[in-house]
Amino acid sequence: MQETLQALLGLQDIDRHIFKVEAELRRLPAELERRTAQLARLQAGLDERRRVTTELRSQVREVENITTQQRQRQRKLENETNKTSDAALIAAYEHEIRTLKRTISQAEDDGLRMIERAEQLDKEVEELERQVAEEQTAFEEFRANVERETAAAETRLGELKAELETRSSDGIDKAQLDLYKGLLATREGEAMAELEGRICQGCYVEIPKNLAVQLARGIVLIQCPSCNRILHPRL
Ligand SMILES: [Zn+2]
């Protein structure tokens, strides 16, 4: 059993590195995706503000057109009022003029508020444009780094797998190898654990005495009852 444990530890040594490199290869595209989404959100915020600003300015123009017409109407009514001596007609004109003045004044207030809001948005757009440009530069740098790191990790992974091929798994039967590989996956790249005293160094839980005795005898593979890792004495 000593031989099997030695062989498994040899594999574990390489597999630990493979596990780390593979985790890195998963992390890098995930990180790239996260940064892409972040940049897209920033860009969407910028687009939305640009859209609202354009819409506000078009509303302002519309309000200005309407008030221009209303002012013309007001002047016309004022002229009509001066021309007639019909008291009822004058009262009607004056009533309409008052209404027009109120409407125009309200529209002017609304227009001013819209212009202020548009100007505020202009500032936000400017700030966001600066941010987007900055983020874009940082993102391009990051992407170039990811490409370099990914290429390096893939090369390293190839080397490690080649090393694993040459590493002998003699003395490990298929069931043992399957158990080991299953544990690699579930225990994040650490399938083996040293037993120190009666404490498993994988999960730091004490194992029952009879298991420690069996491990010392070295006849069968012993797994930690707590974390399932294959236990080995200090070798
Ligand atoms: Zn354990």
DSSP string, 113-144: HHHHHHHHHHHHHHHHHHHHHHHHHHHHHHHH
Task: Over range 79-101, report the average pLDDT.
Answer: 96
Residue 183: predicted pLDDT: 97
Mean pLDDT of 107-134: 96
Where residue 170 falls among pLDDT bands split at 50, 70, 90? confident
167, pLDDT greater than 90: no
Ligand 1 center to 215 CA (angstroms): 14
Share of the chain above pLDDT 90, in %: 94
CB 191 within 8 A of CB 183: yes
Q: Does residue 207 come out as left (phi exceeding 0), alpha (psi in the -120 to 50 range) or beta?
A: beta
Judged against a pLDDT cut of 80, whether residue 157 lies above it is answered with yes
CA of 173 to the centre of ligand 1 (A): 23
**Distance from the alpha carbon of residue 179 to the mean position of ligand 1, in angstroms:** 15
Q: How far is the CA of 224 from the centre of ligand 1 (A)?
A: 5
Interval 147-165 mean pLDDT: 95
Phi-psi region at 197: left, alpha or beta (left = phi > 0; alpha = psi -120 to 50):
left
**The predicted structure's pLDDT at residue 176:** 93
SS3 206: strand
Output the CA 111–ligand 1 centroid distance in Å.
Answer: 72
Query: Does residue 33 surpass a pLDDT of 90?
Result: yes
List of E strands, 41-92 = none
Give residue 235's pLDDT: 79
- Centre of ligand 1 from the C-alpha of residue 13, in Å: 18
pLDDT of residue 55: 96
Residue 171 has pLDDT above 80, yes or no: no
Segments of the chain assigned to CATH 1.10.287.1490:
17-169
Can you give the pLDDT at residue 199?
97
Provide the pLDDT for residue 2: 85
Residues 6+ apart with CB under 8 A from 171: 3, 4, 6, 7
Ligand 1 centroid from CA 231, angstroms: 8
Mean pLDDT over all residues of the chain? 95
As a whole number, mean pLDDT of residues 107-114 equals 95
User: How many angstroms separate the alpha carbon of residue 207 from the centre of ligand 1?
Assistant: 8
Q: How far is CA 62 from CA 48, 53, 54, 59, 100, in A?
A: 21, 14, 12, 5, 17
- DSSP letters, 182-197, are HHHHHTTT--EEEEET
Pick the CATH number of 17-169 from 3.40.50.11740, 1.10.287.1490, 3.40.50.970, 1.10.10.10: 1.10.287.1490
Predicted confidence at residue 108, as pLDDT, reads 95
Distance 195 CA to ligand 1 centre (A): 9
Closest among 59, 55, 54, 48 to 112, alpha carbons compared: 59
Q: How far is the CA of 228 from the centre of ligand 1 (A)?
A: 6
pLDDT computed for residue 211 by the predictor: 96
Expressed in angstroms and rounded, the spacing between residue 199 Cα and the centre of ligand 1 is 8
Exposure string (b/e) for 113-138, b if CB count within 10 Å is 16 or more?
Answer: ebeeebeebeebbeebeeebeebeee
Average pLDDT for 79-89: 95
Residue 36 is predicted with a pLDDT of 96
- CB distance 198 to 209 below 8 Å: yes
pLDDT value of residue 103: 96
**222-226: long-range contacts (C-beta < 8 A, 24 or more apart)?**
223/179, 224/193, 224/200, 226/200
Please give the distance, rounded to the nearest whole angstrom, from the Cα atom of residue 232 to the centre of ligand 1: 11
Flag whether pLDDT at 169 surpasses 80: no
